[in-house]
Amino acid sequence: MSDKAYDASLDLLRRLDPKLIASNLSNICRLQPELAADLLASVDTPLKTLTCPKTNKPFLCCDYNRDGDMYRSPFSNEFVGDDKPDDDAPKPSEHLRELELFANDSFDIYRELYYEGGISSVYLWDKEEADATSDGTIGFDGVVLLKKTLDDSSSWDSIHVFEIERKDSNTSTYRLTSTIILDLSEGKSDKNLTYLSGNLTRQTERDYKFKDSSSHVANIGTLIEDVEIQMRNMLQEVYFGKTRDILQDIRSFTSLDEREADRSKQQNLINKFQDL
């Protein structure tokens, strides 16, 4: 019964308005609390932002830095929330924590160069079999989060979950699962509102050579850069391009002025996408 309920929940979420994915997921979890953990781990929602009390810097929250209702800050390595964290709350080992700070600094530069704004956060965790080592022979897993909001009405969320598996003495296999959540809106009132929302997920696997643990961060950065460029081009050229072609070719019973207004909204959505 639980497997059928889980599949039915995922099937329902795929058919509901993607703009309301967070509230729809919350409602289903309330109806089926026994499925909440699996659904929260399987369904990507727009990233939430909190502020680190020690540094007063914003950071992004996801299931990978969560412990109950609290979220670990990448700056202070402490959990932020109303409750006190348990003593066994998950945290990276000493060396991995240093690597996590290095990764956050590196992707902060990447964010500024490519997004010209927004927020980035990186979280790393040790392998189950052993902690990460400085020579890179024992790798780690992690997630890279990127978010940019435009005019409080449009947003781009990137979630990159990666695994590192050693292949031989100086080569590792990097497996990346990338999800982009896009939400574009144009217009103020419900009558004139035009929006485009949805998500795109791709999986990538590549082999890179490494010298030490910091090489893993550089390799992951290279892989994420390539994947994000491919997915952005796919969204812009395939999805936006096909949608525009269809809307221009279909027969319309509306007046010329109304059609011009619709085309103007479509162009504004494209412009917002290019600014994200």
Q: Which has the higher per-residue pLDDT, 123 or 17?
A: 123
The residues, any chain, with a CB within 8 Å of residue 132's CB and separated by 6 or more, are 92, 93, 95, 96, 99, 124, 126, 138, 139, 140, 213
Instruction: Please tell me the least confidently modeled range out of 174-183, 202-211, 219-228, 267-276.
Output: 267-276
- At the topology level, CATH places domain 1-43 in Methane Monooxygenase Hydroxylase; Chain G, domain 1 (1.20.58)
To the nearest whole percent, how much of the chain has pLDDT over 70? 85
Look at 100 and 133; give whichever has higher pLDDT: 100
Mind listing the pLDDT tens digit for each residue in 254-263? 555 666 666 6
d(C-alpha 146, C-alpha 232), whole Å: 14
Residues 35 and 29: their CA atoms lie apart, in Å, by: 7
- Rg of the chain on CA atoms, in Å: 21
- Average of per-residue pLDDT across 148-159: 87
Residue 65 per-residue DSSP state: G
Does the pLDDT of residue 209 top 90, yes or no?
Answer: yes
Answer yes or no: same fold for 1-43 and 93-249: no
CATH superfamily of 93-249: F-actin capping protein, beta subunit (3.90.1150.210)
For residue 68, give the H/E element and its range.
none
Residues 6+ apart with CB under 8 A from 215: 136, 208, 209
Predicted confidence at residue 96, as pLDDT, reads: 94
Select the more confidently predicted residue: 265 or 76.
76
* pLDDT value at 1 more than 70: no
Residue spans per domain, the chain = 1-43, 93-249
Torsion of CA 246, 252, 258, 264, to 10 degrees: 10
Highest mean pLDDT among 2-16, 67-81, 218-232, 251-265: 218-232
**Tens digit of each residue's pLDDT (9 = 90 or more) over 31-79:** 888 888 888 878 888 899 999 999 999 999 998 998 888 899 999 999 9
Q: Which amino acid is at 29?
A: C
Query: What pLDDT, on the 0 to 100 scale, is given for residue 105?
Result: 96
Enumerate the H helices of the chain as residue ranges: 2-15, 21-31, 36-42, 94-115, 213-233, 241-249, 256-275
Spatial CA neighbour of 140 closest among 86, 82, 72, 90: 90
Q: How far apart are alpha carbons 162 and 124 in whole angstroms? A: 10
CA 43/CA 172 separation, integer angstroms:
28
CA 121 vs CA 73, 74, 111, 144, 181: distances in Å: 9, 7, 10, 6, 16
Output the pLDDT for position 216: 95
What number of residues does the chain have? 276
What is the pLDDT averaged over residues 174-197? 79
Say how far apart CA 256 and CA 270 lie, in whole Å: 21
- The rounded mean pLDDT for the chain is 85
Average pLDDT over residues 138-144: 93
**Among the listed residues 177, 194, 176, the one whose alpha carbon sits nearest the alpha carbon of residue 185:** 194
Cα-to-chain-centroid distance, residue 3: 26
Output the pLDDT for position 103. 96
